[in-house]
Structure 1
């Protein structure tokens, strides 16, 4: 097993010091290979050492301007610091340089979500959802974005898919309750709000919505 692989394994096992040792050796042996810098950048990102992570990703890009995963890593550095416009630029570069994985499309979509541009987020979240049909977080955010774009039927279908993946998803139930209200089915909405509260008794949105619906039904 090569040193980079050993470093990645140690990183996955949260042995960050050991991982750093392997990555350092890999870089020392191949100082002109971007992969070592990218892996070290990912490690530093895990440790929230954003400044150094940025330096390593930039070094990888200096060595290879086509290194798509370096742009992706840099995008994550900015994203974690809530610098969404800068993150967006890097994720776009990652896609431009050939990275076509669910994660990069998802992160790109989320940069638009955080800037309250749901229309711009939608195509990226759709692509992520297509590439990762079984990823609960991606499917949920895609469903949410559909709803924000007024695509209620599609949002309902996606939230039901989320529940197939994870039955105890209180937020999916809450959102299906909201969809039911859109369709003027108060009783179905109540069922979903109740289910959301069964799963998470502190779900404030579901609690508030339930109280409002019950009040409306009693009037």
Structure 2
């Protein structure tokens, strides 16, 4: 098996030492190849060693400033550290370097949401759903941003897509209830709140919405 794939497989299996050994061998064999540094950085990030992970990603960029996946990986670390502006910068750089990945667009959108700029998140979440039409969470977050901008009909479409992909997504049912309530369709709103509570009986917001409609 290719060393790169072998190391990634070890990571997926939680075999950190074996993965580290493989990635170290990759770096020693081809020290000018940024991929080994990116993989080792991803391994360090997965193990919670964020500072060292960033150093490895930076080394990969020094070797090849067009290595888009290094910027993406740095963005993920910054996002986990709640340094959302830095995360946004990295995901944007990854995009500009040619990373046409649904994950990158999703994380860029989520970074803007974390910065309380949902309008800026809209095009990136939309692009994410275009590239991956099986990502229920992306449709949900896209729907939230649309609802925030008062595009209620469009938001309903996204929330419906979410529950189609993930029938256990209580928050999507709740937000459908809110959207139908906004459109003064009380019967449909109540149905959605009930659906949310069926999935999650402890959903406080759905319970409150239901009580308001029934009172």
In the other structure, the counterpart of 1:26 is 26
Query: RMSD of the alignment, in Å?
Result: 0.9
Distance 2:182 2:17 in 1: 52
In the other structure, the counterpart of 1:149 is 149
Instruction: Give the drift of 1:203.
Output: 0.8
What do residues 18-61 of structure 1 show as CA deviations (whole Å, max 9, x unaligned)? 11111111111111110000111111111121101100000000
Distance 2:110 2:168 in 1: 24
In the other structure, the counterpart of 1:131 is 131
In the other structure, the counterpart of 2:40 is 40
In the other structure, the counterpart of 2:94 is 94
The answer to whether residue 45 in structure 2 is matched with residue 49 in structure 1 is no
In the other structure, the counterpart of 1:171 is 171
What do residues 62-118 of structure 1 show as CA deviations (whole Å, max 9, x unaligned)? 000000000000111100000000000111100010001101011011111011111
Distance 1:166 1:71 in 2: 30
Where do residues 39-78 of structure 1 align in structure 2 (5 Å cutoff)?
A: 39-78=39-78
Unaligned runs of 5+ in 1: none
Distance 1:137 1:9 in 2: 26
Runs of 4 or more consecutive aligned structure 1 residues displaced over 4 Å after TM superposition: none
Distance 2:46 2:210 in 1: 39
Give the paired residue count: 215
In the other structure, the counterpart of 1:122 is 122
Instruction: Give the drift of 1:2.
Output: 2.2
> 70-79 or 166-175: which moved more?
166-175
The answer to whether residue 23 in structure 2 is matched with residue 15 in structure 1 is no
